Structure 1
Amino acid sequence: MEIGYIFSGMLVGLLVGITGVGGGSLMTPLLVFLFGFKPAVAVGTDLLFASLTKSGGVLVHHGNHKSVEWRIVALLSAGSLPAAIATLMVLNHFAKIGKDVTHTITFSLGIALILTAIALFVRAYIQKAGKNAEDHAPGRFHHLQAPATVVVGLVLGVLVTLSSVGAGALGTVALIFLYPRLPTVKIVGTDLAHAIPLTAIGGFGHWQMGNVDFTLLSSLLVGSLPGIWVGSHLSAKIPEKFLRPLLASILMLIGFKFVL
């Protein structure tokens, strides 16, 4: 296993532990720019990486905190899982006829990173605005919550399958907006629970297309698990209000580099 891959996994795990930002938005650009992996291989490997690392988080949230809203997970999955399968079928079709989809994946990755950066910038504002709206008009969005949640899942299904980015930051912000009275710990737990089947299906589909590097995957796992553990303990000591905007700015720049 390459030391560089292990160190990268540790670095990403450390930042995820400190900021809570999804590993995909950090890991995939790192694999493309630093190590020169093809975007499709970076996305496929990162999707399986995400499904494995997020599983541990859900066990904690469901087992210890009881903080997973399974009804919301089901609504998100009703949109995201069929969308992920349909996206994989389209990618597989293009692969069979010999059409290169590298540009599509690269462009999708750039868009996802830009949206993730915006989500990081506006998360606190949306959370505050949503709570104020609910205080003045209880149940205002109640009749739209279910269909809107399915639509959010559909968008995430396409975006995550193409880019491996969005299940964390974008999913969290969408849930904060749609369910402003839901405690933060339940927002995080629910988003994690939804991300597991979505990234697993996406990762498996990319694996079938030959877009997963298992040596890379195992190296990233070796590095990321201790990184997340250390980052989680450091999170209380490092001012997130400074680190999160800095991270969002970096993701924004990387996103524009992919798009332009």
Structure 2
Amino acid sequence: MEYLILAIIGLASGIVGALVGLGGGVILVPATLFIGINLGMIDGITPQTVVGLSVVMMIFIGLASTLSYMKSKTIDYRSSLIFFAGSIPGTLLGAYVNKGLDLPSFNLYFGILLIILSTLLLVRKYLKPVEWFVKHGKKRSFTDATGETFVFGYPVWFALVLTFGVGFASGLFGIGGGSIIVPAMILLFLFPPHVAVGTSMFMVLLSAVVNSITHISLGNVPWLYTIPVIPAAYMGAKIGAALNQKMKSETLVFALRIILLLLGVRSIIDGIWG
């Protein structure tokens, strides 16, 4: 029964992760913790093992998504490599700090992070575009299928600092970093949402490999549970990437903020009263 549950969670994580560029960890981590610990339906689940499971899963979500977004040409490879370089030391530090977190603390901090991200996206329309980063960075452009051209950019030094923090959160919570870097690319660097998602998923693939090696060395990966999760997540990522190409940019942003808000509230409740 627990393998079926994990397969369903993996499928949902893959679909949502690839659809909005999250990497899937923001679905798998809270869902597995709730079903495994609160409901007692999955044996041997701890914050450490669920993060280990999540980061291994994200290699395959990242791979499936990247292959799909390569075909649609919505990956900015240069940006992905810069973001990845900044995230590596943060990822290693976050994985190390993860060892000392108990379940209530993990849920509380994870929930606060998701609420902050959701709020930023919620008020996005009311914020003036942060032109400073584009003006002081190397400008890039992208023309979407409708013919609309977007101009975006960022200073490399700021991207490296930002992605260090993204990597830390990724290693600490097993969320892949997409849930942080996608809002940052949209709000600060003015990336078009489809390019932000595609670029994020390529970065998720690269960082998940480093993250997995770290968590494997710490003994955090429950290998038997990867059997149902990995193929389900891979299939889900293919579905999510296909759906992404059929949705409007604003629909993607709306879906992202609703998902983050609901998961954040759930996680904080578990952290305080769980």
Same fold (TM over 0.5): yes
Q: Which residue of 2 aligns with 1:74?
A: 81
Q: Deviations over 1:67-111 (max 9, x none)?
A: 3323322322232102222344556xxx6xxxx433564454333
Query: In 2, are the aligned partners of 1:161 and 1:202 still within 8 Å (CA)?
Result: yes
Give, in whole Å, the separation in 2 of the partners of 1:77 and 1:244. Answer: 22
1:205 aligned partner = 214
> Which of 230, 252, 257 is residue 264 of structure 2 equivalent to?
252
Give the gaps of 5 or more residues in structure 2.
38-44, 139-153
Alignment check: 8 A CA contact 1:114 1:256 kept: no
Q: Does 1:50 align with 2:38?
A: no
Q: Would the aligned equivalents of 1:41 and 1:212 in 2 still touch at CA under 8 Å? A: yes
**Other-structure match for 2:148:** none
Distance 1:70 1:109 in 2: 29
Superposed CA offset, 1:105-156 (max 9, x none): 4454333333343344345556xx42xx64xx89534286211101111101
Shift in Å, 1:41? 0.5
Aligned residues: 245
Shift of 1:183: 3.5
User: Is 1:152 matched with 2:153?
Assistant: no
What is the rounded CA distance, in whole Å, between the counterparts of 2:257 and 2:188 in structure 1?
23
Question: In structure 1, how many angstroms separate the alpha carbons of the residues matched to 2:136 and 2:232?
Answer: 42
1:28 — aligned with what? 29
In structure 2, the partner of 1:39 is 47
Can you give the 5+ residue segments of structure 1 that lack an aligned partner in the other structure? none
What percentage of residue pairs aligned between the two structures are identical? 20
- Within a 5 Å distance, the mapping from 1:159-198 to structure 2 comes to 159-165=169-175, 167-180=177-190, 182-198=191-207
Flag the 1:240–1:184 CA change in 2: closer, same or farther, 3 A.
closer
Structure 2 CA distance for aligned equivalents of residues 212 and 101 of structure 1: 16
Contact 1:106 1:163 (8 Å CA) reproduced = no
Q: 1:223 to 1:206 in 2, by over 3 A?
A: same
Alpha carbons of structure 1 residues 52 and 237: separation in structure 2 relative to 1, 3 Å: closer
1:218 aligns with 2:219: no
Asked whether the equivalents of residues 12 and 236 of structure 2 are also in contact (C-alpha less than 8 Å), the reply is yes
Cα deviation for residue 253 of structure 1 reads 0.8
TM-score between the two structures when normalised by the length of structure 2: 0.74
CA distance in 2, matches of 1:72, 1:230: 25
Provide, for residues 231-252 of structure 1, a one-character-per-residue CA deviation record: whole Å limited to 9, x for no partner.
5566658976775554233112
Choose between structure 1 and 2: higher strand proportion.
2
1:184-204 Cα shifts (integer Å, max 9, x gaps): 332222212222222221122
What is the deviation of 1:11? 2.9
Do structure 1's residue 3 and structure 2's residue 12 form an aligned pair? no
Which residue does the alignment assign to 1:109? 110
Alpha-carbon distance in structure 1 between the residues aligned to 2:259 and 2:238: 20
Kindly indicate which of the two structures has a greater share of residues assigned to helix: 1
Structure 1 pair 221–72 and aligned structure 2 pair: CA distance change class (3 A): same
Distance 2:95 2:236 in 1: 31
